Amino acid sequence: MGYFIPVEPDVKVYIEDINPRGCKTILFIHGWPANHTMFEYQFDQLPRMGYRCIGIDLRGFGNSDKPWSGYDYDRQADDIRCVVEALDLHDITLGGHSTGGAIAIRYMARHDEYGVAKLALFAAAAPSLIERPYFPHGLKRADVDKIIQDTNNDRPNMLEGFGNMFFFQHVTGPFSDWFFQLGLQAAGWATAAVANAWLEEELFTDLEKITVPTLILHGIHDRVCLFPLAIAQNQGIQNSKLVPFKYSGHGLFYDQRDKFNKELAQFIEE
């Protein structure tokens, strides 16, 4: 079932609610530059195990409205709060991939973990996607600048290159085409604005505010959010568990989809 939920005047985000009568709810926040359908191989399986799965298209992406502004982590965390309140969600597992993981962390800190019983981070872009003088583990700032420049000059070519570094396991040509199309559904200005947020946003103090049990899933071959980010998350979140994925890159939700689904379900049931 699909819904459009207002998050501010003239802006609505799209959500897909799968198995709404499920016993426990997982709210998925997708990564850049895709949308909720990147979790297809979770939505195919987890509802069969009794879970309610809700996928959000972040503003600017997928089927959601694509306003000119509002792509900082605070505003996007506020969008999630609107969804949680509109659907009257309680005791959920909030799961976020890459930038979606960073936004989930900001939500937990900014909204005092409202409605959330457990947090799951998948290759999260936290506490900082880029290198900083006090955090040497991220991407080079120049590499992100190039992503923004390429987005503004030839977004399809940028998306193809990004897709080529996303997965560690072999993916077929048709799968690559499908994943490429997810990125094309976004607005160009939203794609660039979120990438620019990587340069401005950091989540070191946000990590310290998280108190709920937290699962960290991260591929050791991740070339986007490097594995040391997962170690920093594990050290910064007091009640967290890190599960390395030995045969995964950034797209661990597909690279090792069976392990991914199993680890997430076990975590929810603990």
Q: Which amino acid is at 247?
A: Y
SS3 31: coil
Q: Is 62 left (phi over 0), alpha (psi -120 to 50) or beta?
A: left
Check residue 125 and report its DSSP letter.
-
Q: Which of 57, 206, 222, 255 is catalytic?
A: 222
Angle formed at CA 59 by CA 149 and CA 131, multiple of 5 degrees = 45
Give the β-pairing of 2-8 and 51-57. unpaired
Check residue 36 and report its DSSP letter.
G
Q: Which of 30, 97, 218, 250 is catalytic?
A: 250
Q: Which of 98, 128, 240, 248 is catalytic?
A: 98
Is residue 98 annotated as part of the catalytic site, yes or no?
yes
Q: How many helices (H) and strands (E) does the chain have?
A: 10, 8
Residues 6+ apart with CB under 8 A from 230: 121, 123, 124, 216, 218, 242, 244
Is residue 250 annotated as part of the catalytic site, yes or no?
yes
Residues marked active site are found at 98, 222, 250
